[in-house]
Amino acid sequence: MSHRRLEPGRLVLASHNAGKLREFRGLLAPHGLELVSAGELGLPEPVETGTTFLENAAIKALAATRATGLPALADDSGCAVAALGGAPGVHTADWATQPDGSRDYGPAMERVMREAGHDPDRGCAFVATLVLAWPDGHTEGFEGRTEGTWTWPPRGAQGFGFDPIFVPQGQAMTYAEMSTEQKARISHRARAFAALAAACLPPPG
């Protein structure tokens, strides 16, 4: 299967999440891409009506590329807890959304403990789907997944989202206890990015 290649230049990250922007700036810098976020451009967040990570990532990427006329990259990711049937999954951000529209993952992590803490199965996976979109509507999608367990209480001050309760398989630290470099070597987002880079990005300079 052939993929469309992205040329060096400006790329919009279809996100208002500062943590994701930091991660992607580091990942994309070697490929000659200048990343600017939807938040920095003042773009509104589109309503995510999809039922899968891929659908929601495509909604965000297409909205950003249409608004700017630039290629756009979107990430839709979430935490899938085995004892909760894969929830929160695509609703991960919804679990953290507060009445005023802000996001606080503290109560969301507490909800995992409250609803799954009685179950001995602590299995958990972090899933990330990346979609590149072009102004003509063409898209390319890639998924990465990291298996692990959830833990309580939360540990670490790095990362974002559910990172403080997720321990990747074969590791002792949570994502939030790892440095950016350590997390990047094993994260679900890094795995999705590796597939995207091989298929669509200019070679590192």
**Dihedral angle of Cα 114, 115, 119, 123, to the nearest 10 degrees:** -100
Cβ contacts of 90 within 8 Å, gap of 6 or more: 48, 50, 51, 52, 53, 56, 76, 78
HSE-up of 117 (CA within 13 Å, CB side)?
11
Distance from C-alpha of 112 to C-alpha of 2, rounded to nearest angstrom: 41
> Which tokens sit at 91?
């609703």
Among 75, 76, 104, 119, the active-site one is: 76
HSE-up of 30 (CA within 13 Å, CB side)?
8
Can 163 be counted among the known catalytic residues? no
Contact (CB, 8 A) for 13 and 38:
yes
Distance from C-alpha of 165 to C-alpha of 4, rounded to nearest angstrom: 37
Using the structure block, give the residue that is written with the tokens 């993929």.
3
Contact (CB, 8 A) for 6 and 33:
yes
Distance from C-alpha of 133 to C-alpha of 70, rounded to nearest angstrom: 9
Residues tagged active-site:
76
